[in-house]
Every structure is written in structure tokens, then in C-alpha cells.
Amino acid sequence: MAGTLNIVVGSHVWLEDKDLAWIDGEVFRIEGLNAHVRTTNGKTVTASISNIHPKDTEILPDGIDDMTRLSYLHEPGVLDNLAVRYAKNIIYTYTGNILIAINPFQRLPHIAEPSTMEKYKGANFGELDPHVFALADVSYRQMMNEEKSNSILVSGESGAGKTETTKLLMRYLAFLGGRSKTGGRTVEQQVLESNPVLEAFGNAKTVRNNNSSRFGKFVEIHFDKSGKISGAAIRTYLLERSRVCQINSPERNYHCFYFLCSAPSEDIKRYKLGDPSSFHYLNQSSCIKVDGMSDAEEYLATRSAMNTVGITEQEQEATFRVVAAVLHLGNINFVKGRDADSSVVKDEKAKFHLNAAAELLMCDREKLENALIKRKINTPEGVITTTVDPNSATVSRDGLAKQIYCRLFDWLVNRLNASIGQDAQSARLIGVLDIYGFESFKTNSFEQLCINFTNEKLQQHFNQVHVEVERMLGSYDGRLIFASSVW
């Protein structure tokens, strides 16, 4: 620990600060187990030597590009190195063979331009500046040279840039394994174009991220013997179902609901829609629009992406019909019926939405209503039908809406796989796992608790891997407390 290090008068150190997390300073007096430190902001602080970390005073102007070479692998040292590089728009840093990427919250075109891809193609890992392309390139070379499949984990907090990092990885792999276009859509085109489709139906604005993936995604990109992309497959899991019916301010529901409410007038009329603020599943939050995002343009872009990946016009029509039906379901309200523990549809407005939902789902209106306000119970004597109170009917309504939306999302994924799959059974593949973003709310849903638990387990795994790497390198001193991963 820090207390075992040689802290003397004149030592440059880091100590904890409630506002800045860590602040640096110089020790000017030591009394027993305590050190008196004059910080860079002019304050004098007394701290236990065991809580002080030594500072590297010879850090380079651009920081260290591989943090296994830092003099001190402790939290303030790592964070300071990342901050130095980030201030100069250097967002990538290695920790051994792990890449840390920090979201710049701005466009940095040079990062992904074709000339950058060419530069990293075939380069030895670590030969050039840290980059996500280097990680993808070494995975591709190992796969080809050793006939060994690889996977890349993209993990981090919500808003850290995981989805954009995943896109860059897929774009580079498509660059390496792409075929010349001879007519029609190439596999790599369809793989890349699947992103906006999945984002429209599986992403949402959260407190910390305007485009947060609310589902897990594992993309398998398969290659033939010559290294060309032969097919792909998308595996998804744990869509955040509760978001369909319940959102906290200032978050939004899934993007597609707002996109559809901003569709051309003929679509609005066909789906019997209106302003998004008129729908219960959307107006629980104060946020209806997202700065910098045009829902009308995104609707058209989503339709275009669906065309590109081979989803037919009829299938698109059915898809958005279901999306609209879910919105209408949320506006079906109930009141107490004549009998005890019974309920009826509240008023004409609620009946309008019931009729619209039934029409869009192409089901019988009366059967849909009965499914919401009645319950069937299997008994040894047979099936008994009972009525339910308004609260139970609302629970049934929300349960149905969530189930319909989840089935729609699963169908979309399967449909994308049918389009981009082709030869998705090859022995050579690179998998890209875009895991959920960690978030913590005042009230966490069950799905969010699962997401957070998964992330913690993954971070613990990579912490242990990193510790083993440092031990092998001989530089581990028991003070590594920073979880390195691809952010």
C-alpha cells in the first residue's frame, strides 16, 4: 500500500479531495504517521501517509500511451495520465493489450478516415499510437494466421461511447474483409446498416446518454479462408422491457416511438397517431425531443436502413403498425365496473385507442378488451373466467405491451440475421460484444440491476486479468485499483 512507500519531505504526492477526487502537492513536513502537504491550489492539508500516493514528476507532455509503463499504477496516476492525453484530444490509451477510449463528446473525423485505416492495416500492435483500429487489426491477424476466433469486449459506463466504438470496430473489420461491390448489397454493408435499425428500436435517451443501448449485443462477423467477410450474426439479450411502459424524467422511451410520431402526415394518419406528448408511454417524462436529433429525419433514415438490410416494405409496414399499436395500448384506461373487482374501459377516448390497437394488431376488438379486463384460471374442474379490478387491468395492459414490443424486437433481430447471415457458420469469426452501460438511478429497475451486476462481474474479471499481466511484467506492486477496459 501507499504507506509502505518512502514518503519524505519534498515528495510530490497525490491525496484525495472531495471536489476534485485527487489533488497533487508537495510534502513539507512529516510528523509520525502524518504528512503535511502544500497542494497546487495553495492549501495546506494534513493526511495519513497510508492514504498518500506518490506522483510521477517526469510524465511526458502527451502522457504515456501504454499505462503499464507508468511509474506508479494507482488511481490518481492513471486518471492524471488519461486527463493529460484527453486535454490534447488523444482519446485512446493502452493498458497492455487493453484499450481505454474516452468519449470526446465531439466529432474527431481524423480518427476514422480511410487513411487512418490504411495506416493501421497490418501494423504491429503497439507500433503506432493507440487506436481502436489497432485492436481490431491484431484480432483479425491472429484469426487469419492462427485460425483462431477472437472476441472484443466493449464495456463501460453509459455515455462512455461504447456504441460508437463498436461501430468503428465493425467498420474497420468491414474494411479489412470487404469485397468489391459487384451489384446488390454486400454483407459488410448490411452489417454496418443493421446498426441504425437496432438503435432505433433498442436505444433510448437516458440521464447520461442521448443514445444509450438498452440491450446487449454480440455481433459475430464470419470470414472465409481468404479473409473476406462471408456472413454475420447478431445475438441480443435482455432488452430493457420495463422502459416500454415506464420512464423517468428526463429520459425517453425507445427512439422508434418518437420517430414514428414525427413521420410524414400520411403515416401519422394511417397509424392514427398524434403528438408524442399525448401518449401515456411517452409523456411520463418531461423530455420529448432531444437536442441535436430530428425525429422526422431519423424516421426516414431508419426506413432507409431497413431497405438496405433487405426488410421489405410490407415488413416495415407491419413493424411500425406494431409500434403504433403499443402506443395506443398505453392510452387504454380503466375504471371500476358494476360488479365488485371488475373494470371497464374508461371513456370514449380510451375506446378510440382500444379500437386503434385492435385494428393495428389485426385482432378482434372484443377479444382484446376481454383479455385486459378478464382473467382465465385453470382449475381441476375446468377453466374459470373472472373479472379484474382497474389496477389489475392496467397491469395486464402494460404486460401485453411489453411482450408485444419484445417479440417485435426479437423478430427484427432474426430478420436482420436472415438478411446478413449468408455463410455464418465458418470457423473463423470475430465477435464484438457491446455490453450495457452502467447506470444508477434513484429507483433501479430489475433490468438495470441485472445490467449493473453484469458490468461489475466483467470489470472484476478484467481487473484480475490485468493484475496477472502486471505480475508477469514484474511491475505490479499491489496498488492497481483502476478497472481497464474498452470504454
Residue 177 corresponds to which cell in the numbers above?
Answer: 474483409
DSSP element (H, E) containing 223:
strand 216-223
Q: Which of 253, 298, 437, 484 is catalytic?
A: 437
Calpha distance 36→54 (Å, rounded): 14
CA 36 to chain CA centroid, nearest Å: 44
Q: Which of 95, 439, 470, 484 is catalytic?
A: 439
Q: Which of 212, 236, 262, 302 is catalytic?
A: 212
User: Other C-beta atoms within 10 Å of 47: how many?
Assistant: 16
* 432: helix, strand or coil: strand
Note if 163 is an active site residue.
yes
Note if 155 is an active site residue.
no
Q: Which of 11, 139, 158, 333 is catalytic?
A: 158
Calpha distance 357→330 (Å, rounded): 10
Q: Which amino acid is at 329?
A: L
Q: Which of 213, 236, 396, 485 is catalytic?
A: 213
Note if 297 is an active site residue.
no
Q: What is the CA radius of gyration of the chain?
A: 27
Note if 226 is an active site residue.
no
Q: Which of 25, 63, 77, 159 is catalytic?
A: 159
Note if 454 is an active site residue.
no
Asked whether residue 161 is marked as a ligand-binding residue, the answer is yes
Q: Which of 165, 166, 203, 209 is catalytic?
A: 209
Residue 223 corresponds to which cell in the numbers above?
Answer: 470470414
Asked whether residue 159 is marked as a ligand-binding residue, the answer is yes
- b/e sequence 318-343, b meaning 16+ C-beta within 10 Å: bbbbbbbbbbbbbbbbbeebeeeebb
Asked whether residue 163 is marked as a ligand-binding residue, the answer is yes
Note if 180 is an active site residue.
no
**Helix (H), strand (E), coil (C) string for 80-111:** HHHHHHHCCCCCEEEECCEEEECCCCCCCHHH
Note if 3 is an active site residue.
no
Calpha distance 82→154 (Å, rounded): 18
Note if 213 is an active site residue.
yes
Sequence-distant (6+) residues with CB within 8 A of 457 are: none
Q: Which of 155, 163, 236, 262 is catalytic?
A: 163
Whether 193 and 305 have beta carbons less than 8 Å apart is answered as: yes
Asked whether residue 113 is marked as a ligand-binding residue, the answer is no
- b/e sequence 225-259, b meaning 16+ C-beta within 10 Å: eeebbbbbbbebeebbbebbbebeeebbbbbbbbb
CA dihedral 401, 403, 405, 410 (to 10 degrees): 180
User: Other C-beta atoms within 10 Å of 414: how many?
Assistant: 13
Whether 35 and 21 have beta carbons less than 8 Å apart is answered as: no
- Residues flagged as binding site: 156-163
- Residues flagged as binding site for ATP: 156-163
Hey, which residues are catalytic here? 158-159, 163, 209, 212-213, 437, 439
